[in-house]
């Protein structure tokens, strides 16, 4: 299982979003869904707060959930400590949430489904805690399919496959989950919430990938051998690991208006319950 606690300290260094993008995402979500003036928002896989801090800063009724205590501590230390009296950060398993049925107006799954091996269980829980008429929002970064990152990622996958490493296919789970949500929704909206240009280099990709939870979980010898092979390929293909390429990026949102599913009994009922492995995180 990926160790996100270990990668939490450097997570935002390599995976942060440009200034203004989280705020644009929040604005696009709240402008596009049918919700009360101050909706109760649940952010599943809140991580270090790349998106959540925009909700916190705006004083929203926001609850961020993540299984990684290290990620939530990073969130709290970098701004999540301003979570108001109507919200909190909670360590919990997204497949077994410590909240009552129909507790939230909006459930966010931002950059989560691509890494979820059991996305159906995650969506079942999201639907359980969603109020009738509420919205599930899925979001992810869209990178150019033939860009530098895509080429390096593809070649690294070939290298690891040749070394006998079982590969996770991130896009497959997300596509299947989106299709499932479309089949259930009464209405759905897809949009680009923000776009920007990023300058990518092979070295930056390798540094970032080294800190990825799944890659970091591999034996050190395999990591080093794979990255050395990738570096040699990058030098031959692009001339230098520091060659820079400007690429267009966008943040895509998919919003689904849903009803609530049948309730599940015997769950803890409040964000501060510590049953089922849930742990509230002190933010002040």
Per-residue pLDDT of the chain (284 residues; tens, 9 = 90+): 456 777 776 777 778 899 999 999 999 999 998 888 889 999 999 999 999 999 999 989 999 999 999 999 999 988 666 676 677 999 999 999 999 999 999 999 998 987 677 899 999 999 999 999 999 999 999 999 999 999 999 999 999 999 999 766 666 778 899 999 999 998 999 999 999 999 999 999 999 888 887 888 889 999 999 999 999 999 999 999 999 999 999 999 999 998 655 445 433 333 333 333 455 554 43
How many domains is the chain built from? 1
Residue 226 class from Cβ within 10 Å (0-12 exposed, 13-18 middle, 19+ buried)? buried
Print the domain residue range for 38.
4-143+168-197+249-281
Q: Give the domain CATH number at 104.
A: 3.40.50.150
Cβ neighbours of residue 220 closer than 8 Å, sequence gap 6 or more: none
Residue 259 is classified by DSSP as -
Return the pLDDT at 277: 44
In-domain check, residue 267: yes
Tell me if 109 is assigned to some domain: yes
pLDDT of residue 259: 62
In a domain, 222, yes or no: no
Residue 58 lies in a domain: yes
- Is 101 part of any domain? yes
The answer as to whether 80 is a domain residue is yes
Instruction: Please count the other Cβ atoms lying within 10 Å of the Cβ belonging to residue 119.
Output: 24
Residues 6 or more apart from 61 whose CB is under 8 A from it? 38, 39, 40, 41, 84, 86, 87
Judged on CB neighbours under 10 Å (0-12, 13-18, 19+), 92 is buried
Residue 171's pLDDT is what?
65
Cβ neighbours of residue 258 under 8 Å, at least 6 residues apart? 127, 130, 134, 135, 136, 181, 184, 185, 186
* Structural domain contains residue 216: no
Residues 227 and 206 sit within 8 Å (Cβ to Cβ): yes
217 falls within a domain: no
């Amino acid at each position: 299982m990926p160790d996100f606690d270990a990668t939490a300290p450097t997570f935002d260094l390599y995976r942060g979003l440009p200034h203004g993008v989280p705020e644009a995402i929040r604005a696009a979500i709240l402008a596009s869904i049918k919700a009360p003036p101050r909706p109760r928002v649940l952010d599943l896989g809140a991580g270090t707060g790349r998106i959540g801090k925009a909700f916190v800063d705006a004083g929203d009724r926001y609850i961020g959930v993540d299984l990684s205590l290290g990620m939530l501590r990073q969130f709290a230390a970098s701004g999540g400590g301003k979570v108001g009296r109507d919200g909190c950060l909670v360590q919990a398993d997204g497949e077994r949430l410590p909240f009552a049925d129909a507790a939230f107006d909006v459930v966010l799954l931002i950059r989560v489904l691509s890494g979820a091996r059991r996305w159906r269980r995650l969506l079942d829980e999201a639907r359980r805690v969603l109020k009738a008429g509420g919205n599930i929002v899925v979001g992810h970064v869209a990178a150019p399919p033939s860009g530098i990152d895509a080429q390096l990622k593809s070649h690294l996958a070939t290298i690891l496959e040749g070394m006998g490493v079982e590969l996770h296919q991130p896009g497959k789970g997300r596509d299947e989950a989106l299709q499932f949500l479309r089949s259930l929704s009464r209405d759905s909206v897809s949009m680009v919430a923000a776009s920007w240009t990023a300058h990518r280099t092979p070295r930056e990709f390798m540094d970032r990938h080294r800190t990825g939870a799944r890659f970091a979980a591999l034996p050190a010898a395999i990591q080093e051998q794979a990255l050395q092979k990738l570096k040699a390929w990058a030098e031959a293909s692009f001339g230098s690991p520091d060659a820079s390429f400007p690429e267009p990026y966008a943040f895509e949102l998919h919003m689904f208006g849903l009803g609530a599913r049948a309730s599940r009994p015997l769950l803890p009922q409040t964000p501060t319950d510590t049953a089922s492995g849930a742990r509230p995180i002190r933010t002040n």
